[in-house]
Protein backbone atom coordinates (compact mmCIF):
# COMPACT_ATOMS: atom_id res chain seq x y z
CA UNK A 1 0.00 0.00 0.00
CA UNK A 2 1.23 3.46 -0.85
CA UNK A 3 -0.87 6.58 -0.64
CA UNK A 4 0.33 10.15 -1.05
CA UNK A 5 -2.05 11.69 1.45
CA UNK A 6 -3.54 15.12 0.94
CA UNK A 7 -3.26 18.02 3.35
CA UNK A 8 -5.60 20.70 4.64
CA UNK A 9 -4.86 23.41 2.03
CA UNK A 10 -5.88 20.96 -0.70
CA UNK A 11 -9.22 20.25 0.98
CA UNK A 12 -9.83 23.96 1.55
CA UNK A 13 -9.08 24.63 -2.13
CA UNK A 14 -11.76 22.11 -3.13
CA UNK A 15 -14.15 23.56 -0.58
CA UNK A 16 -13.72 26.98 -2.17
CA UNK A 17 -14.85 25.51 -5.50
CA UNK A 18 -18.02 23.93 -4.12
CA UNK A 19 -21.37 25.26 -5.29
CA UNK A 20 -24.83 24.70 -3.74
CA UNK A 21 -25.72 22.37 -6.62
CA UNK A 22 -22.79 20.03 -5.85
CA UNK A 23 -24.51 17.29 -3.84
CA UNK A 24 -23.72 13.99 -2.09
CA UNK A 25 -26.03 11.36 -0.56
CA UNK A 26 -26.94 11.57 3.10
CA UNK A 27 -25.20 8.24 3.64
CA UNK A 28 -21.82 9.94 3.02
CA UNK A 29 -22.53 12.65 5.59
CA UNK A 30 -23.96 10.15 8.06
CA UNK A 31 -20.82 8.02 7.84
CA UNK A 32 -18.61 11.10 8.32
CA UNK A 33 -20.64 12.08 11.37
CA UNK A 34 -20.27 8.58 12.83
CA UNK A 35 -16.52 8.84 12.30
CA UNK A 36 -16.51 12.18 14.11
CA UNK A 37 -18.54 10.75 16.99
CA UNK A 38 -16.02 7.93 17.37
CA UNK A 39 -13.35 10.60 17.89
CA UNK A 40 -15.07 12.21 20.86
CA UNK A 41 -17.89 14.53 21.86
CA UNK A 42 -16.10 17.76 20.98
CA UNK A 43 -15.21 16.54 17.48
CA UNK A 44 -18.77 15.29 16.97
CA UNK A 45 -20.24 18.65 18.00
CA UNK A 46 -17.96 20.55 15.63
CA UNK A 47 -18.80 18.15 12.80
CA UNK A 48 -22.53 18.45 13.45
CA UNK A 49 -22.26 22.24 13.13
CA UNK A 50 -21.31 21.74 9.47
CA UNK A 51 -24.92 20.69 8.80
CA UNK A 52 -26.45 24.11 8.28
CA UNK A 53 -30.06 23.29 9.16
CA UNK A 54 -29.06 21.16 12.15
CA UNK A 55 -31.61 18.54 11.21
CA UNK A 56 -31.45 14.78 11.03
CA UNK A 57 -29.64 13.36 8.02
CA UNK A 58 -31.67 11.11 5.73
CA UNK A 59 -29.64 8.42 3.95
CA UNK A 60 -31.24 8.83 0.53
CA UNK A 61 -31.55 12.64 0.52
CA UNK A 62 -28.94 14.84 -1.16
CA UNK A 63 -26.92 17.45 0.69
CA UNK A 64 -24.20 19.94 -0.25
CA UNK A 65 -20.75 18.37 -0.56
CA UNK A 66 -19.46 21.48 1.24
CA UNK A 67 -21.08 20.15 4.43
CA UNK A 68 -19.17 16.90 4.03
CA UNK A 69 -15.86 18.65 3.38
CA UNK A 70 -16.45 20.73 6.51
CA UNK A 71 -16.89 17.54 8.52
CA UNK A 72 -13.77 15.99 7.00
CA UNK A 73 -11.80 19.12 7.86
CA UNK A 74 -12.95 18.89 11.49
CA UNK A 75 -11.87 15.23 11.63
CA UNK A 76 -8.53 15.97 9.97
CA UNK A 77 -7.74 18.87 12.31
CA UNK A 78 -8.67 16.75 15.34
CA UNK A 79 -6.23 14.07 14.17
CA UNK A 80 -3.41 16.61 13.78
CA UNK A 81 -4.13 18.04 17.25
CA UNK A 82 -3.62 14.53 18.63
CA UNK A 83 -0.36 13.98 16.78
CA UNK A 84 -1.89 12.20 13.78
CA UNK A 85 -1.90 12.90 10.06
CA UNK A 86 -4.62 14.97 8.36
CA UNK A 87 -4.77 12.91 5.15
CA UNK A 88 -4.63 9.60 7.01
CA UNK A 89 -7.66 10.68 9.06
CA UNK A 90 -9.57 11.40 5.83
CA UNK A 91 -8.51 8.01 4.43
CA UNK A 92 -9.75 6.23 7.57
CA UNK A 93 -13.04 8.17 7.42
CA UNK A 94 -13.50 7.01 3.82
CA UNK A 95 -12.67 3.48 4.88
CA UNK A 96 -15.34 3.61 7.59
CA UNK A 97 -17.82 4.92 5.00
CA UNK A 98 -16.97 2.03 2.69
CA UNK A 99 -17.66 -0.50 5.41
CA UNK A 100 -20.95 1.25 6.22
CA UNK A 101 -21.92 1.23 2.54
CA UNK A 102 -21.69 -2.55 2.17
CA UNK A 103 -24.10 -2.89 5.09
CA UNK A 104 -26.82 -0.92 3.26
CA UNK A 105 -29.38 -2.66 1.04
CA UNK A 106 -27.75 -1.25 -2.11
CA UNK A 107 -24.31 -2.20 -0.83
CA UNK A 108 -25.39 -5.75 -0.04
CA UNK A 109 -26.84 -6.11 -3.54
CA UNK A 110 -23.62 -4.85 -5.12
CA UNK A 111 -21.64 -7.22 -2.89
CA UNK A 112 -23.64 -10.17 -4.22
CA UNK A 113 -22.93 -9.09 -7.78
CA UNK A 114 -19.27 -8.50 -6.97
CA UNK A 115 -18.79 -11.93 -5.40
CA UNK A 116 -20.05 -13.54 -8.61
CA UNK A 117 -18.19 -11.25 -11.02
CA UNK A 118 -14.65 -10.90 -9.69
CA UNK A 119 -12.47 -7.89 -9.06
CA UNK A 120 -12.20 -6.38 -12.54
CA UNK A 121 -15.98 -6.37 -13.02
CA UNK A 122 -16.44 -4.96 -9.53
CA UNK A 123 -14.02 -2.11 -10.19
CA UNK A 124 -15.59 -1.49 -13.61
CA UNK A 125 -18.86 -0.81 -11.78
CA UNK A 126 -17.41 2.02 -9.68
CA UNK A 127 -17.73 4.78 -12.34
CA UNK A 128 -21.48 4.17 -12.73
CA UNK A 129 -21.94 3.93 -8.95
CA UNK A 130 -20.06 7.23 -8.52
CA UNK A 131 -22.20 8.91 -11.18
CA UNK A 132 -25.33 7.86 -9.30
CA UNK A 133 -23.96 9.01 -5.94
CA UNK A 134 -22.62 12.48 -6.80
CA UNK A 135 -23.24 15.07 -9.52
CA UNK A 136 -19.68 16.32 -9.97
CA UNK A 137 -16.45 14.89 -11.33
CA UNK A 138 -15.77 11.91 -13.56
CA UNK A 139 -14.45 8.41 -12.87
CA UNK A 140 -13.22 5.83 -15.38
CA UNK A 141 -11.56 2.43 -15.07
CA UNK A 142 -9.08 0.51 -17.15
CA UNK A 143 -7.50 -2.88 -16.77
CA UNK A 144 -3.72 -2.83 -16.46
CA UNK A 145 -3.12 -6.59 -16.23
CA UNK A 146 -5.08 -9.72 -15.28
CA UNK A 147 -4.50 -8.79 -11.62
CA UNK A 148 -4.47 -5.00 -11.61
CA UNK A 149 -6.46 -2.00 -12.71
CA UNK A 150 -6.59 1.78 -12.46
CA UNK A 151 -9.40 4.13 -11.51
CA UNK A 152 -9.01 7.65 -12.89
CA UNK A 153 -10.78 10.37 -10.89
CA UNK A 154 -11.19 13.84 -12.41
CA UNK A 155 -12.42 16.89 -10.49
CA UNK A 156 -13.90 14.91 -7.59
CA UNK A 157 -14.54 17.51 -4.89
CA UNK A 158 -14.45 14.96 -2.05
CA UNK A 159 -10.82 14.28 -2.90
CA UNK A 160 -8.22 11.55 -2.98
CA UNK A 161 -7.83 10.33 0.61
CA UNK A 162 -11.52 9.77 1.41
CA UNK A 163 -12.25 8.19 -1.98
CA UNK A 164 -9.28 5.84 -1.69
CA UNK A 165 -10.45 4.62 1.70
CA UNK A 166 -14.02 4.25 0.43
CA UNK A 167 -13.08 2.25 -2.67
CA UNK A 168 -10.55 -0.04 -1.02
CA UNK A 169 -12.73 -0.83 2.02
CA UNK A 170 -15.99 -1.34 0.13
CA UNK A 171 -14.32 -3.50 -2.53
CA UNK A 172 -12.50 -5.62 0.04
CA UNK A 173 -15.64 -6.07 2.13
CA UNK A 174 -17.84 -6.86 -0.89
CA UNK A 175 -15.46 -9.65 -1.93
CA UNK A 176 -14.70 -10.79 1.65
CA UNK A 177 -11.01 -10.00 1.21
CA UNK A 178 -8.62 -9.47 4.08
CA UNK A 179 -7.62 -5.91 4.89
CA UNK A 180 -4.24 -6.27 3.16
CA UNK A 181 -5.21 -8.47 0.21
CA UNK A 182 -5.60 -5.47 -2.08
CA UNK A 183 -2.50 -3.44 -2.80
CA UNK A 184 -3.12 0.13 -3.86
CA UNK A 185 -1.36 3.31 -4.85
CA UNK A 186 -3.00 6.73 -5.00
CA UNK A 187 -1.31 9.47 -7.03
CA UNK A 188 -2.67 13.05 -7.28
CA UNK A 189 -2.67 14.55 -10.78
CA UNK A 190 -3.61 18.12 -9.84
CA UNK A 191 -2.79 20.61 -7.12
CA UNK A 192 -5.85 20.12 -4.90
CA UNK A 193 -6.06 16.29 -5.12
CA UNK A 194 -9.47 16.39 -6.80
CA UNK A 195 -7.97 14.51 -9.76
CA UNK A 196 -5.91 11.39 -9.08
CA UNK A 197 -5.08 7.84 -10.11
CA UNK A 198 -5.97 4.90 -7.88
CA UNK A 199 -4.06 1.79 -8.94
CA UNK A 200 -5.18 -1.48 -7.39
CA UNK A 201 -3.56 -4.92 -7.65
CA UNK A 202 -4.34 -8.31 -6.13
CA–CA distance, 178 with 94 (Å, rounded to integer)? 17
pLDDT in tens, 140-154: 999 999 999 999 999
Closest CA to 20 of 157, 166, 161: 157
pLDDT at 101 over 90: no
pTM: 0.92
pLDDT in tens, 156-189: 999 999 999 999 999 998 888 887 789 999 999 9
Range from 7-16, 98-107, 124-133 that averages highest in pLDDT:
7-16
* Neighbour count for residue 60 (Cβ, 10 Å): 9
CATH superfamily of 2-201: H-NOX domain (3.90.1520.10)
Amino acid sequence: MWVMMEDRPQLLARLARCRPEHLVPGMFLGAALESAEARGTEVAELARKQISDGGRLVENYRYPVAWMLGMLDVIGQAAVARGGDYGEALFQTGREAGLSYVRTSVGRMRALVASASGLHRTLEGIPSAAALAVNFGEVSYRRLSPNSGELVFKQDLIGMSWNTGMVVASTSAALSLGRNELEFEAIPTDADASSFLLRISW
